[in-house]
Amino acid sequence: MTECTREPLAGGRGIYVSRDCRFGTDAVLLADFASPRRDDRAVDLCSGGGIIPLLWLCGDAPAGKVTGVEIQRGCCELARRSIAENGDGDRFEMIEGDLREAERFLPREKCSLVTCNPPYFPAGSGFASRSGCRAIARSDEMCRSDDVCRAARYLLKYGGRLCLCQRPERLTDVVCAMRAQGIEPKRIRVVQQRPGSVPWLILVEGRRGGGPGVRFLPTLLVERPDGSLSDEMRAIYGRYGEKAKWQDN
């Protein structure tokens, strides 16, 4: 088993993390943005240590059934340990697999929600991690927007939603990849660290078979001008965790 520590979540629950398998604010924001319903059948792609499903299952309106898909064995082991200790075995299944081969281990068009916190940097650019595991998580060499949207098209039933986060400069990649798979962008939210700062994250929701027309939501501010957490961020963190703030990757 990978050397790890346990991070507390709401209600006495927890998640195991390691040096190579952690999570940041972006995962918490995506979990909240997707807001699954109790009757949703959800799949979380690039699930890492299972943070997004684990957050949902300790939220006010957890998804009915969640499957995580992660290519890295060490992350899957951590997720399964968290699942066992939280007693989530009947609601959360973790699959070790490549999302590009989703048809090998998941049924077609059975999901109402797919989420993905994908690698942010194009292969050969951005932050270069010395860790092979961290490199997989940060570089899109093994997982591009096209791959995510193609897998989502296979998994989603008509009207189902795909929610993902990405760096703002890659918004065009996301929108084009969604439309190429018949998933119409419907909601976009920009995230800024504080008022006046450059956006560092976008949250995008697309709907399979949706009609044209996208709605931009109010900007989400992580901090106030003085550096303290905004009221919205305090509310989001408070729904899921016992800590005032988790550290970014």
Contacts of residue 221, Cβ cutoff 8 Å, sequence gap at least 6:
192, 193, 194, 195, 230, 232, 233
Model pLDDT, residue 172? 97
- Give the H/E segment covering residue 42: strand 41-45
* 38: confidence class by pLDDT, cuts 50, 70, 90: confident
Domains defined along the chain, listed by start? 5-240 (3.40.50.150)
pLDDT for residue 220 is more than 50: yes
CA distances, 1 to each of 80, 124, 139, 173 (Å):
11, 31, 25, 37
Q: Mean per-residue pLDDT for 192-199?
A: 97
* 61: confidence class by pLDDT, cuts 50, 70, 90: low
Q: Which residue has the higher pLDDT, 36 or 59?
A: 36
Using an 8 Å Cβ cutoff, are 144 and 164 in contact? no
Distance CA 175, CA 183 (A): 9
Q: Which residue has the higher pLDDT, 244 or 146?
A: 146
Using an 8 Å Cβ cutoff, are 181 and 149 in contact? yes
Using an 8 Å Cβ cutoff, are 164 and 132 in contact? no
pLDDT for residue 3 is more than 50: yes
Distance CA 87, CA 107 (A): 25
Q: Mean per-residue pLDDT for 160-174?
A: 97
* 139: confidence class by pLDDT, cuts 50, 70, 90: very low
Model pLDDT, residue 58? 84
Q: Mean per-residue pLDDT for 134-157?
A: 80
Tell me the pairing of strands 156-166 and 111-116: parallel
Distance CA 144, CA 70 (A): 14
Model pLDDT, residue 141? 60
Claim: this prediction has a pTM higher than 0.95: no
Chain segment 103-115, per-residue pLDDT in tens:
999 999 999 999 9
Model pLDDT, residue 239? 87
Q: Which two tokens stand for residue 125?
A: 């650019």
* 123: confidence class by pLDDT, cuts 50, 70, 90: low
3-state class of 166 per DSSP? strand
Using an 8 Å Cβ cutoff, are 82 and 49 in contact? yes
* 241: confidence class by pLDDT, cuts 50, 70, 90: confident
